[in-house]
């Protein structure tokens, strides 16, 4: 019998495993890596065509992103994208130290929520030291503290129709008419390292990094981690939201699936 041809899915899996190995060996960076790391660039290039399904074949829904020792934390967490939202509404929140901030959780939920920052800080929390990987080719290690999204979603009680969690932000990146937004599926949203962070390196989250809260979804690339989250909407489809692709950068051509 002739050799069995390698199925495309096997080839993709093998390529993924190889790139995970390359990332591990070549890019164990401490602090911020300001150079365009070749490891990250190769990794991103090679994983671009991976589907979410292929990714899930090699990492379980519970697998944790790597966590680091405190010695690996960068002095300053490099800010990127919007660093100071320009709207009057956001400036008013800053001026009052976010005392008037309320996070709405709405859409496909049985029990909509409106949570103050104090309520978010009182919710079950997690602290994690992780490496953030931006598609622009830099990485940075920081310690994040925040409310576990799983607990907040449980309070809101997603309906049977809920397939995605959409994060609507305060900022208009690149002067866009509509604000930045991002989304996760329910598996990533319920992952134990998915938190709404209000703390960075033991202090309040700075405005440059997304105050008062920003998403951390540690198995995803940087652009998924929405800063300045103003409300969270559970939906069955992205079709009616902005460009319909599930995120600011997705509407401009990036992959929706940004798992690493």
Ligand X SMILES: Nc1nc2c(c(=O)[nH]1)N[C@H]1C(S)=C(S)[C@@H](COP(=O)(O)O)O[C@H]1N2
Q: Is the CB of 131 or the CB of 148 nearer to Mo ion?
A: 131
Contact partner, 172, from Mo ion, ligand X, none, Cβ < 5-8 Å per class: none
- 234, 109 Cβ separation under 8 angstroms: yes
Which listed range, 46-54, 87-95, 174-182, 223-231, lies at the site for Mo ion (CB under 5 A)?
223-231
Choose the stretch contacting Mo ion; rule: CB under 5 A; options: 20-28, 112-120, 126-134, 252-260. Answer: 126-134
Which long-range contacts link 34-40 to residues 24+ away (Cβ below 8 Å)? Answer: 34/78, 34/138, 35/138, 36/137, 36/138, 37/137, 37/138, 37/139, 40/133, 40/137, 40/138, 40/139
Contacts (Cβ under 8 Å, ≥6 apart) of 258: 220, 221, 223, 224
Provide, rounded to whole angstroms, the least separation between the CB of residue 70 and ligand X: 19
CA distance 29 to 187: 28
Number of residue whose CB is nearest ligand X:
81
Q: How far is the CB of 136 from Mo ion (least distance, A)?
A: 6
Q: Does 142 bind Mo ion (CB under 5 A)?
A: no
Chain residues binding ligand X by CB under 6 A are 77-82, 134, 169, 171, 173, 180, 209-210, 222-223, 225-228
Given the complex with ligand X, which of 115 and 140 has the nearer CB atom? 140
Rounded Cα distance between 220 and 188, Å, is 9
- Closer residue to Mo ion (CB): 107 or 259: 259
Q: Does 222 bind Mo ion (CB under 5 A)?
A: yes
Cβ count near 18 (within 10 Å): 13
Would you count residue 164 as binding Mo ion (CB under 5 A)?
Answer: no
31 in contact with Mo ion (CB under 5 A) = no
Q: Report the chain's C-alpha Rg in angstroms.
A: 19
Contact between 125 and Mo ion (CB under 5 A)? no
236 binds, among ligand X, Mo ion, none (CB under 5 to 8 A by kind): none
Nearer to ligand X, 197 or 235 (CB): 197
Choice between 59 and 80, CB closer to ligand X: 80
- 79 interface partner picked from ligand X, Mo ion, none, CB below 5 to 8 A per type: ligand X
Minimal distance, residue 119 CB to Mo ion, in Å: 29
Beta strands at 194-200 and 181-185: parallel, antiparallel or unpaired:
unpaired
Nearer to ligand X by Cβ, of 113 and 201: the residue is 201
Residue 46: alpha-carbon gap to chain centroid: 20
* Torsion 241-228-217-12 (CA) sign: positive
Separation of alpha carbons 222 and 137, rounded Å: 10
The contact set with Mo ion (CB under 5 A) reads 134, 222-223
């Amino acid at each position: 019998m002739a050799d069995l041809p390698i199925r495309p899915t096997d080839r993709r899996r093998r390529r993924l495993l190889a790139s995970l190995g390359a990332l591990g060996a070549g890019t164990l960076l401490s602090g911020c890596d300001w150079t365009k790391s070749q490891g990250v660039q190769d990794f991103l290039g090679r994983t671009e065509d991976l589907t979410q399904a292929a990714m899930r074949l090699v990492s379980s829904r519970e697998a944790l992103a790597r966590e680091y020792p405190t010695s690996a934390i960068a002095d300053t967490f490099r800010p990127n994208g919007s660093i100071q939202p320009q709207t009057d509404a956001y400036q008013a929140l800053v001026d009052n130290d976010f005392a008037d901030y309320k996070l709405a959780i709405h859409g496909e939920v049985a029990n909509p929520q409106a949570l103050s920052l104090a309520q978010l800080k009182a919710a079950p929390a997690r602290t994690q030291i992780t490496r953030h990987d931006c598609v622009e080719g830099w990485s940075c290690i920081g310690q994040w503290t925040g409310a576990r999204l799983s607990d907040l979603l449980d309070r809101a009680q997603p309906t049977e129709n809920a397939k995605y969690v959409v994060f609507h932000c305060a900022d208009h990146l690149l002067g866009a008419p509509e604000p930045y937004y991002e989304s996760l599926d329910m598996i990533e949203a319920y992952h134990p390292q998915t938190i709404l962070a209000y703390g960075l390196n033991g202090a309040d989250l700075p405005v440059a990094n997304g105050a008062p809260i920003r998403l951390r979804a540690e198995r995803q690339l940087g652009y998924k981690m929405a800063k300045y989250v103003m409300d969270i909407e559970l939906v069955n489809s992205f079709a009616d939201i902005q460009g319909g692709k599930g995120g600011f950068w997705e509407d401009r051509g990036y992959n929706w699936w940004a798992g690493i």
